[in-house]
Each structure stands twice: as C-alpha cells, then as structure tokens.
Amino acid sequence: IQPKDVFDRDGWVERAHVTAFLKLLGAQAIKRPTFDFQGVTENQQAFLKTAVAFEDLAVAAYKGQAPRLRSDAVLAAAVGIHSVEARHAAWMRQLFGITPAVRAFDRPASRPQINRIVASTHFVSAPAKMSARTDPQFTG
C-alpha cells in the first residue's frame, strides 16, 4: 500500500490509517465502532490529557500486536503507522507539558489489556450499543 492509496481528501492521518487497514483486511476488518467522548473534547486540557493517554495506548497496542501479524503487508502497514503514532504520542506529551519519551524502549500491551483500558473509558462502543454519533468539537 502506497501513501497515495490511503490519503483521504481531508488529509487526516487517522482516517488514512483506518483506510489502509480496511484495504488490507477487507471483510476481516471489524465494523466501525461508535464514539462518545463525553465532553473531554470540549476543553483543551482535558483533550490533551485524553490524547496523551490514547496515543500512548496506540503505541503500546501496535507493539503488542506486531508479533502476531503473519502478513508482511499488514506488518509493514502496522510498523509504518506505529512510528507515526509514536510521534503523535511525543507531540501530545510535549503539548501537555510532560516528557515526550520516558524510556529507551516502549512497552507492548496485550489485546486484553488494551480492550480493558478502552472499555474503562466508555468512549468507544460497538454500533449496536449506541444510537447517536458524537463528533468532537475540540480537535486540537
């Protein structure tokens, strides 16, 4: 997959990540969840705190899943996205006023750990569990 194949018309990096995986996984991709950020996107400090947590979580998730990937194409996309997520994490940490990189090596997180953390936020639900989609007002 080439960058020109996944760059969406708005240029949003996260959307390009989703597009890349949708193209690679096809019917095996999970259905789009529903998001409700419960007001944390309405305030800059709350947004930054949440962004730090989720960007760090994304880095740990990609690292944790890398050994499980059997497709070279999927692994290549995941590694490419992982490096961007790591830069996002460092950037959000800098904006929030904390050290961008605190360890020489990032720690991986398992899928059950990631699922437990995401579930504890109540930000993400399967489409059938929520009836309305909430778009964030504060996006940085």
Query: pLDDT means per 10 residues in the chain (140 residues)?
Result: 44 80 87 88 89 92 93 92 93 93 90 92 71 46
- DSSP per-residue codes, 34-97: EE--TTTTSSHHHHHHHHHHHHHHHHHHHHHHGGG---HHHHHHHHHHHHHHHHHHHHHHHHHT
Q: How many residues does the chain have?
A: 140
How much is the pLDDT for 130? 39
How much is the pLDDT for 99? 94
Q: Which of 66, 91, 72, 67 is nearest to 13 (CA)?
A: 91
Q: Which of 30, 99, 103, 91 is nearest to 60 (CA)?
A: 103
- Burial zone of 78 (CB within 10 Å; 0-12 exposed, 13-18 middle, 19+ buried): buried
How much is the pLDDT for 123? 92
How much is the pLDDT for 33? 85
User: What is the tens place of the pLDDT at every residue in 62-83?
Assistant: 999 999 999 999 899 999 999 9
Q: What is the pTM for the complete model shown?
A: 0.74
How much is the pLDDT for 5? 45
Q: Which are the contacts of 81, defined by CB distance < 8 A and separation ≥ 6?
A: 17, 20, 62
How much is the pLDDT for 7? 42
